[in-house]
A and B are shown apart, each in its own frame.
Chain A
């Protein structure tokens, strides 16, 4: 086997080992990475900034622990920003393994800002079949969710007295790791004209740019990079703090940088091997 063929047929475990070493070294010796904010993340941030005290923001949280690394940071940053601006949050979950995700964020952040369940936020809980649930919420939140996550009837919650359907919320932010984003676009925005922005995993991001172009969504936070941009903006305005260890996505950016350099190098090596062995054979 020639040198070039060896380059192409490198045992993938060497790739894992090298990436592993690079990641560990970067985690032990972190460094600052310059970050620029993309317009699609800036528009979500600016929108939350434009909300007044008492406005209601709905967040659809549709992810499970496997997507925590990418989506939890943006959920934390948005919740902190909203609570600090006295914006009320209406939360729901349409992913079967996700109810605990909302519970974890809301219980922690509500304590930080002394926010009260039923007054400053309402967590509707989980319901199966996203399409039907989103359509039903467009008529009245009480159809799919007669009670909140904790078993309290919605009508007995102070915050819910003035809320019937999407007309009463300023916008919906869908933070998702699955197909439910399609349903939010198709039914909440398409059927009820609700103002919608999304935060999705890196893998999903490229699929949703066409909806940004068509203005079916007004903002897009894509993966850990998007979350890091949001954290960067939130830290700059004092909503979150590096000292309190509240920038988890931003903290991972050096690892992203070094690992991407290694992946690009492997792609270049593989391509050189391919073209050189092709040239040799011809």
Chain B
């Protein structure tokens, strides 16, 4: 690590520690780091969006005389009317266009990929001769019982209630798996930061050693 990297990483170390202080309680250091992240992210996004969306999709086509792009530009400007109580109704046209086109794109494919293909993947061969066939039984029981749990038009009593209970257990196992993976995700972030701090301290120690040995010529 050179001097420049040592300084930049020192800032990263400082901000990491600022964020960690929140674990004790809220404080100005945490607030500073939090606001910095939000501000930098918003600023970065604005610049990226301008150069990757606004310029190539509006300014460049208009310069080339493609006047059709005036229509989305006007729809975009109409959204800003939401800030006025009197004129906010104008923004509804843009939103209607956005929601309408988005829904049109999505509905058919979502039905196909999130419902029909998922349903067809539960229509499986079953049996007890192999682990795969037995797993298929578990999948079918899990799907049916979870669906029955969400069927509220009939009282959950008797066989129906017991099946719904199996459905709750299926859901709980799913939530448990999700929780375990969430813990892993959060620990990953902590582990990466702790390893970063450890490696920075080792580099800093080495840098200071060289600095004292060879003087300020570094």
Of the residues A16, A97, A213, contact of B41 by C-beta under 8 Å = A97
Q: Closest CB of chain B to A140's CB: distance in Å?
A: 15
Do A135 and B105 have beta carbons less than 8 Å apart? yes
Do B194 and A255 have beta carbons less than 8 Å apart? yes
- Report the stretch among A109-117, A185-193, A273-281 that lies at the interface: A185-193
> Does B187 sit within 8 A of A, measured CB to CB?
yes
- Report the stretch among B28-36, B43-51, B81-89 that lies at the interface: B43-51
> Cβ of A16: which chain B residues have Cβ within 8 Å of it?
23
> Cβ of A263: which chain B residues have Cβ within 8 Å of it?
183, 187
Q: Which chain B residue shows the least CB distance to A255?
A: B191
Chain A proximity mask over B179-208: 1 for CB below 8 Å, otherwise 0: 001111111111111110010000000000
> Cβ of B106: which chain A residues have Cβ within 8 Å of it?
131, 186
Alpha-carbon separation in the docked complex, A21 to B178 (Å): 26
Do A186 and B113 have beta carbons less than 8 Å apart? yes
> Cβ of A125: which chain B residues have Cβ within 8 Å of it?
52
> Does A128 sit within 8 A of B, measured CB to CB?
yes
Residues of A contacting B: mostly: helix
> Cβ of A225: which chain B residues have Cβ within 8 Å of it?
184
> Does A99 sit within 8 A of B, measured CB to CB?
yes
Residues of B contacting A: mostly: helix
> Does A202 sit within 8 A of B, measured CB to CB?
yes
> Does B27 sit within 8 A of A, measured CB to CB?
no
Do A223 and B184 have beta carbons less than 8 Å apart? yes
> Does B139 sit within 8 A of A, measured CB to CB?
yes
> Does B100 sit within 8 A of A, measured CB to CB?
no
Alpha-carbon separation in the docked complex, A146 to B49 (Å): 16
> Cβ of A34: which chain B residues have Cβ within 8 Å of it?
none
Of the residues A13, A126, A146, A256, contact of B187 by C-beta under 8 Å = A256
Known A-B contacts A96-B45, A126-B48, A190-B112; A224 and B121 likewise in contact (beta carbons under 8 Å): no
Chain B proximity mask over A79-99: 1 for CB below 8 Å, otherwise 0: 000000000000000001101
> Does A68 sit within 8 A of B, measured CB to CB?
yes
> Cβ of A19: which chain B residues have Cβ within 8 Å of it?
190
Alpha-carbon separation in the docked complex, A214 to B120 (Å): 8
Do B23 and A13 have beta carbons less than 8 Å apart? yes
> Does B102 sit within 8 A of A, measured CB to CB?
yes
Which of B102, B112, B183, B185 gathers the greatest number of chain A CB atoms within 10 Å? Answer: B185
Q: Which residues of B contact A (CB under 8 A)?
A: 23-24, 41, 44-45, 48-49, 52-53, 56, 102, 105-106, 109-110, 112-114, 117-118, 120-121, 139, 174, 177-178, 181-195, 198
Chosen A-B contacts, 21 in total, with CB atoms closer than 8 Å, are: A13-B23, A23-B190, A24-B194, A69-B189, A70-B185, A70-B189, A96-B45, A97-B41, A99-B48, A186-B114, A202-B184, A203-B182, A206-B181, A216-B117, A223-B185, A252-B192, A255-B187, A259-B187, A259-B191, A260-B187, A263-B183
Q: Which residues of A contact B (CB under 8 A)?
A: 13, 16, 19-20, 23-24, 27-28, 64, 66, 68-70, 96-97, 99, 125-128, 131-132, 135, 146-147, 185-187, 189-191, 201-203, 205-207, 210, 213-216, 222-225, 248, 251-252, 255-256, 259-260, 263
Given contacts A27-B191, A206-B177, 4 further A-B contacts (CB under 8 A): A207-B178, A251-B195, A256-B187, A263-B183
